Amino acid sequence: MRKCYGPLHKGAEIDDDAFSNPRAKACRLCFAQYSKARYARDKERLKAKSKEWKSQHRQELQEKNRAYYLANSQSCRANVAKWMNSIENRIWHRAVNRIRSAMRGYSCDPKLLLGCDKKTLFFHLASQFKPGMGEKNFGKGPLKWVIGSVNQFDLGTKDGQLKAFHFTNLKPVWWKRVKG
């Protein structure tokens, strides 16, 4: 046992294992508390800094992610498959990709444009199901349903984007073969 002088223990005796090294004056938990407090005090600046760093190292990060995926492709694919087992996740994924493809070439934040969370999006669509629509036949193909728009808006304006992609403008529609 030894004394920890950190904010959580204030001189109390605690187990040796709780310290990261023999000379530390505070235990690991207390050190974590310190850095948490430091982060909270300076949150906005640190967030901006990290965002800036990420944008400067975008390519590097992409390559790192790719390398990680290639080295762990089996478990990565299994994780994706597991995630896609949930109907809420599948619908969310589709809604986000729908925005990305409509906005091709322009920067956008799909989550912000949708204006809701996964559960809300799912219940919003499910509340408008027509007879025969359900969790099992979501997707492209005959007798399946996809996400459609209630009204069309001009995607060239920010206002139009906010209205077009907002979850309240989405409804379930039967899939139709695209002619052409």
Nearest residue (CB) to Zn ion, 27 versus 114: 27
Find the shortest distance in angstroms from Cβ 18 to Zn ion: 7
Find the shortest distance in angstroms from Cβ 45 to Zn ion: 27
Find the shortest distance in angstroms from Cβ 30 to Zn ion: 3
Nearest residue (CB) to Zn ion, 8 versus 146: 8
Find the shortest distance in angstroms from Cβ 14 to Zn ion: 6
Find the shortest distance in angstroms from Cβ 17 to Zn ion: 12
| Alpha carbon distance 147, 131 (integer Å) | 16
SS3 107: coil
- Using CB under 5 A as the binding rule, whether residue 8 contacts Zn ion is answered as yes
User: For Zn ion, what does the binding mask look like between residues 20 and 59, x meaning CB under 5 A?
Assistant: -------x--x-----------------------------
- Using CB under 5 A as the binding rule, whether residue 6 contacts Zn ion is answered as yes
Amino acid, single-letter form, for residue 5: Y
Q: Which residues contact 26 (CB under 8 A, 6 or more apart)?
A: 4, 5, 6, 7, 9, 34
Total of chain residues touching Zn ion, rule CB under 5 A: 6
Q: What is the 3-state secondary structure (H, E, C) of 42-82?
A: CHHHHHHHHHHHHHHCHHHHHHHHHHHHHHCHHHHHHHHHH
Please report, as residue ranges, which positions from 110 to 129 form the binding site for Zn ion (by CB under 5 A).
none
Strands 145-149 and 12-14: unpaired
Amino acid, single-letter form, for residue 86: S
| Alpha carbon distance 65, 15 (integer Å) | 39
Q: Count Cβ atoms below 10 Å from residue 4 Cβ, excluding itself.
A: 24
- Which of 9, 90, 94, 171 touches Zn ion (CB under 5 A)? 9
Question: In the complex, which residues of this chain contact Zn ion (CB under 5 A)?
Answer: 4, 6, 8-9, 27, 30
